[in-house]
Amino acid sequence: MPSATESALIDSIRPRLHPRLKPLFDESSRCLPILQSTCQQILNDTDQQFTPDNLVQVISRDHGLTCKVLQVANSIAYSPQQTIGGIPHAVSWLGLDTVRALVAAAHLVEQLQHWPARQQELRTLIAKSLVSATYANEFGTAISYPQPGQLFTSALLYAIGDLAVAYQDPDLFEALQAMYRKVKHQADRVSQETKLIGVPRLTLARALARLWKLPDNLVHLFDSTGESPTGRWQSASQTYRGLVVGSIHLVDVMTGSGSAAAVEEAKRALQLGSGLSSGRFTDLMTQAMDRGLQLTRSMGLVVDPVHDPLMSSNGKSPAESPALRSSAKTAPGEDQATAPQRVSPTHDAPPVPIRSNPLETLQAFQDSLQGVKDLNSLLGIFIRSLHRDAGLGRVGLALLNPSDSDRLVGKLTLGVEPPAPYLSSLSGSLSREHPFFLSMLKRVDPLLVPSVSDQPAGAMKQDFLDVWRPTSAILAPLRVGVRPIGLVYCDQAPDHPPLHAQDYQAFQFFFFQTTLAMNRLAGVL
């Protein structure tokens, strides 16, 4: 039974609430026990007394949860250098906060089965909440907030009022969402919320949080207009509210309800409040989006940011520089007249430069790297040299999406035409379509694959096998520091002899010089 204070709060709201939402406070409502038990389960799972052994036992008993945790643990976002084989390793590697967050989110997603008619609205809400929670957690960790797990939980549960409305009346929820897309000022939004549902949205959330006996720190988030504190945060309470509400607002405007200017304003508020440097804040934005997307994907959810946090001032992502525009006819810095043509077998081809003039070829390659000012140009030189100077008949470059490192994007091919199908076959999800490429990205050194057909079924995207028809190949991860940024694939045409040790040695000469140059350019060395 609610306390006298809680009853008074509910009684003050009930007469004003939209008639279709009044059942939210009736004991007979199907929504109440489901949401209340879910919130309590999430809070229990994120309790600091929940030990590693407890987590391992809980996860190991649930096959679906085991798969989700291992998928996240083995993503590039969380594990860029090694493969995680079991739940104890995953828990120790990811840390208690992250694994508790996974378990908590899984409980929330499980409740979707109770709402089959409202799945889309609720899935979108939960996905956005997961990403917001990840942002709050990453920023909190960066500024040494004492309980980053608390930030995750609070951001995840901040949407309980929206979840309740979406469950109880999807039409009202959609009307609220439509209003948010049109009305940007907070005071005007509160006024419109009151007209639509009878009370401000946060007032409804506060009443539900009190009814469900949620922690005071979460309830207090609903005690104001929902705005984040301005300026540099000066107290623990300001920092808590700033991280949670600021992260939620940032993800909200990035996922479609705000303009590019609104995104920049939300980012500035978080950076100013946290006191993080511009460079560190940008890195955390990338990491938070990447990790948030891996969490949502592991839960079978999708959230598509409209405004990429890495977009530059000219509207292009760094990975989309003209220097790496997909082309099999011209490489960066190479004229159309000298573009490599499709490889055809010949026994009269002259020896490749790395074998006929090794010292001069390597010196020329090193000299070409010295004057490079950006990563795209450097990679273009590398790919062109592999094809022209190392004698590798077909070369493909694929880069990771910086803010979603499960996505591989084909960027450049030489020695094949037309380029489109080759680039498309290099692209896709690492976890679902390219597990062999994912394992390659966990390596440090290049790998010579004597027979591609020896790879187990499903290890490589079928489209890739159909288009390239590889026999033997050389693959290598591209790393800046410890973080993979993409990979290089090399082979000969199917009707050519397979690659051998000499080809691998030639590849290594160019690869190690390129790795050094990339890390120098990035300031790692």
More confident residue, 229 or 422: 422
Q: Are residues 159 and 50 in the same domain?
A: yes
330 pLDDT more than 90? no
What's the N-to-C CA distance of the chain in angstroms? 63
Average pLDDT over residues 62-85: 88
pLDDT score at 346? 43
491: helix, strand or coil: strand
Q: Are residues 292 and 352 in the same domain?
A: no
More confident residue, 183 or 385: 385
Give the relative orientation of helices 148-157 and 119-142 as an angle to the nearest 10 degrees.
160
pLDDT digits (tens, 9 = 90+) for 447-472: 999 999 899 999 999 999 999 999 99
The answer to whether the pTM exceeds 0.85 is: no
Confidence of residue 336 (pLDDT cuts 50, 70, 90): very low
Q: Are residues 347 and 379 in the same domain?
A: yes
| 3-state SS track over 321-381 | CHHHCCCCCCCCCCCHHHCCCCCCCCCCCCCCHHHHCHHHHHHHHHHHHHCCCCHHHHHHH
Average pLDDT over residues 224-248: 86
Q: Which pair of structure tokens corresponds to residue 331?
A: 């490489």
313 pLDDT more than 50? no
pLDDT digits (tens, 9 = 90+) for 391-413: 999 999 999 998 899 999 999 99
503 pLDDT more than 90? yes
Residue 303 included in any domain: no
Confidence of residue 344 (pLDDT cuts 50, 70, 90): very low
Length of the chain: 525
Domain range for 341 is 318-521
Report the CATH number at residue 412.
Answer: 3.30.450.40
- Lowest mean pLDDT, pick from 103-117, 121-135, 341-355, 473-487: 341-355
pLDDT digits (tens, 9 = 90+) for 180-214: 888 878 888 889 999 999 999 889 988 888 888 88
Residue 305 included in any domain: no
Beta carbons of 255 and 234 less than 8 angstroms apart: no
Q: Are residues 186 and 286 in the same domain?
A: yes
> What DSSP designation does 486 have?
E
pLDDT score at 48? 57
312 pLDDT more than 50? no
Provide the domain count of the chain. 2
* Max mean pLDDT range (36-40, 201-205, 351-355, 424-428): 424-428
pLDDT digits (tens, 9 = 90+) for 289-310: 999 998 888 888 887 654 454 4
> What DSSP designation does 407 have?
E
pLDDT score at 41? 67
Q: What is the mean pLDDT of the chain?
A: 83
Q: Are residues 292 and 355 in the same domain?
A: no
> What DSSP designation does 489 have?
E
Q: Are residues 358 and 225 in the same domain?
A: no
Q: Are residues 353 and 236 in the same domain?
A: no
Q: How far is CA 200 from the centre of its chain?
A: 32
Residue 149 included in any domain: yes
317 pLDDT more than 50? no
Confidence of residue 219 (pLDDT cuts 50, 70, 90): confident
Confidence of residue 28 (pLDDT cuts 50, 70, 90): low
Residue 304 included in any domain: no
Beta carbons of 69 and 99 less than 8 angstroms apart: yes
Where is the domain boundary, 236, 265, 298? 298
Residue 308 included in any domain: no
Q: Are residues 339 and 380 in the same domain?
A: yes
Residue 310 included in any domain: no
pLDDT score at 315? 38
More confident residue, 137 or 117: 137
Average pLDDT over residues 85-90: 90
pLDDT score at 195? 93
Q: Are residues 474 and 350 in the same domain?
A: yes
pLDDT digits (tens, 9 = 90+) for 254-271: 887 667 888 999 999 999
Q: Are residues 420 and 343 in the same domain?
A: yes
Confidence of residue 424 (pLDDT cuts 50, 70, 90): very high
Q: Are residues 237 and 361 in the same domain?
A: no
pLDDT score at 391? 92
Percent of the chain with pLDDT over 90: 43
Report the CATH number at residue 33.
Answer: 1.10.3210.10
Residue 311 included in any domain: no
